[in-house]
Amino acid sequence: MSDQDTTGRARPEAIKAVPVRHPGRWLAIAVLAVLTAMFVHLLVTNDQFRWSFMFSSYEPGKRGVMFTEPVLEGLRGTILLTVSSMLIGVVLGVVIAVMRLSDNPILSWVAWIYTWFFRAVPRLVLAILFGNLNILWDRIGFGLPFDQQIGKLFGIDDLNAQFYSVKASDLLAGFVAGMLALGLSEAAYMAEIVRAGIQSIDPGQTEAAVALGLSRGQVLRRVVLPQAMRVIVPPTGNEVIAMVKDTSLVAFVPVTYELFFQLNAIKARTFVVLPVLVAAVIWYLIICSVLMVAQFFVERHFGKGYGAAGKARQKLQGIAAEQGGVASYQGPASGPGGAGI
């Protein structure tokens, strides 16, 4: 229906006004262009960067420093460490969040203590601490506590009630120590993120589920957590990216199987400082860029149908369905992601 039909008047001429000028914007662009040119000039003309050392050959006949075997090995270690410590962090974090929200005061208190401790201690300190924790024990294993003391009570010297044990310095060192330090610390942060997510869900959801006869576990798994994911995913993405960078701390455990440690070693051996550091910067940039792309897709998946645009789209489809009776509209295009956990 056009305007003429409804009002009987001709549509007035479209507005052609002179747009407002923005001289400030042009000035800013000019300044930034000059700065960018200076930066590119620096990268291209300054020999100290030694790009060939980085990309093509740092010793005759070898690959550039970014792609040498020890550095790639270290890169693998960094990625493995990120994945494994985030896994510990997420799983343990969910457990601690649920404990924290429990009606049981002891569970809730233990969860609070855990979060308090691991958030208070810097990750660097934790990494060094875990690297040296094996000083406490000769061997680590399963067995009866106080076995030797109880043995003495009954007049037996050296009662050994350990069922299985390994040398502490074998188990709790290097990679495992670094992974535990980062993973346990991460769990404290994840617990807070998950708790916020769970608490953001309307209590009416739990009530409706409980009234239907669902158990507490089912309410959490089927109703609360799938909805909480929308709130949990974005800060978790931040945590993953922060974790990639924090893996460089485990060099102090010490862990050698790690990107920055390997690059640092080359720096110490060759006395070439800047190119090696820039190589590290480039690798971290690449990893984080990949993760950011992944985060975008994960967020879009869990945010389906909830955003302002999604809501509007839903409304429109609802109205269309009401008027035209579109019999079975299929949800996946814009409905809230039914995938859940």
Using the minimum distance from each CB to another protein, give the nearer residue, 74 or 226: 226
State the nearest-atom distance from the C-beta of 211 to another protein, in Å.
4
- Nearest-approach distance from CB 235 to another protein, in angstroms: 20
Nearer to another protein, 84 or 102 (CB): 102
Q: From the CB of 197, what's the least distance to another protein, in Å?
A: 13
CB 286 within 8 A of CB 109: no
Nearer to another protein, 209 or 240 (CB): 209
CA distance 335 to 76: 38
The DSSP-derived string for 92-123 is HHHHHHHHHTSS-HHHHHHHHHHHHHHHHS-H
- Residue 152: CB atoms within 10 Å: 13
Integer Cα distance of 172 and 185 in angstroms: 16
Compute the least distance from the CB of residue 284 to another protein, in Å.
36
Name 21's Cβ contacts closer than 8 Å, sequence gap at least 6: none
What is the contact surface with another protein in residues (CB under 8 A)? Answer: 202, 204-205, 207-216, 218, 222-223, 226-227, 305, 311, 314-315, 317-318, 321-322, 325, 327-331, 335-338, 340
Looking at the Cβ atoms of 285 and 333, the one nearer to another protein is 333
CA–CA–CA angle 166, 169, 173 (5° rounding): 115
CB of 223 to another protein, least distance (A): 6
Nearer to another protein by Cβ, of 252 and 306: the residue is: 306
CA dihedral 84, 90, 92, 94 (to 10 degrees): -170
CA-based nearest residue to 224, from 92, 87, 86, 98: 98
